Amino acid sequence: MHTRTLGSDLRVSAVGLGAMGMSQSYGPNPGDRDDMIAVLRSAVDLGVTFFDTAEVYGPYVNEELVGEALAPVRDQVVIATKFGFRIEDGRPAGLNSRPEQIRAVATASLERLGVERIDLFYQHRVDPQVPVEDVAGTVGELVREGKVRCFGLSEASARTIRRAHAVHPVTAVQSEYSLWTRDPEPEVLPTCTALGIGFVPFSPLGKGFLTGAVDASTAFAADDVRTAIPRFTAENRAANQTLVEHIAALATAKDATPGQVALAWLLARHPSIVPIPGTRHTARIEENAGATRVPLSADELSDLDGLAGRIGVQGDRYNAHHMSLVDK
């Protein structure tokens, strides 16, 4: 596995692993926790060193899972987690990034992860009630205290990134980014490049759609998050199928999979981009890692760059509630 650097010195595998789906969001959760621990450990064997979790995943249980799975290899991996939600009765109940909340989450996350220091501590969503300068200052204090190594932001606007970075260096910004979600390109990506901040795309495979594993006929479980995403209505999946077929045709020509092509395109965008596809299966981790070995020519990259614009993408990436949590 190739490695890349986020910010000034956070060295990670070129493809990471998002662990959220091991505890929530994509249909019935795995029945055997030991199976997920085995998958996480197999990722390390395949060269993955960058793992993403959050207190709100579960809530709480995903951090515990990741912490237990990676304990034997703690010195070989980078673990990112997140703060920023108020959790009541086991469910997220709005945003909370007040300094005292950030400190409380850091203490609890350290315990659940079983680590002495959080490698990368993201603000999960920007809290409009708390100046980001206060957030950055609080995380900076945690860095000086040795409880946190690096500070990150998720779904933050370019303006917010600049304000936070002026108080304490931002190592990485995490947002949805893929061949069919291009929102960060006009402002966020140029800002990250200018400031030397790494960029971490989540849902780099379009929540499964860009791999070809999901189409208009796919039946989602009632608790699958995609049932509430406009882009995943049967009508919109059918309309967006042309995009996947184009990726699949290129994949066949490259002796690769559609998912590998989608990841290879991201990796080619900038050397500080590190996607974190999620999965519950070791075979998928191995496939995703193989994206680092898929060469794309300048013409192929140019063709993929214009794909969404030429074909069009139907449906919003979030419903109205979740869009309201994205910093503008």
State the catalytic residues.
57
The DSSP symbol for 36 reads: H
Q: Where are the alpha helices (DSSP H) in 116-233?
A: 132-144, 158-167, 188-195
Alpha helices in 71-131 (DSSP H): 99-113
Rounded to 5°, angle at Cα 282 from 276 and 287: 65
- Whole-angstrom distance, CA of residue 275 vs CA of residue 186: 19
Strands of the chain (E only): list them.
3-6, 10-13, 17-18, 50-52, 78-83, 85-88, 91-95, 118-123, 148-154, 170-176, 198-202
Whole-angstrom distance, CA of residue 166 vs CA of residue 173: 15
With tokens 């049932």, the residue in question is 227
- CA distances to 47, 169, 201, 207, 269 from 204, rounded to whole Å, are 19, 25, 6, 7, 13
DSSP characters over 236-274:
HHHHHHHHHHHHHHHHHHTTS-HHHHHHHHHHHH-TTB-
Closest Cα to residue 164, out of 180, 181, 188, 145?
188
Q: Using an 8 Å Cβ cutoff, are 63 and 55 in contact? A: yes
On whether the CB atoms of residues 199 and 172 are closer than 8 A, the answer is yes
Structure tokens at 116: 């002495």
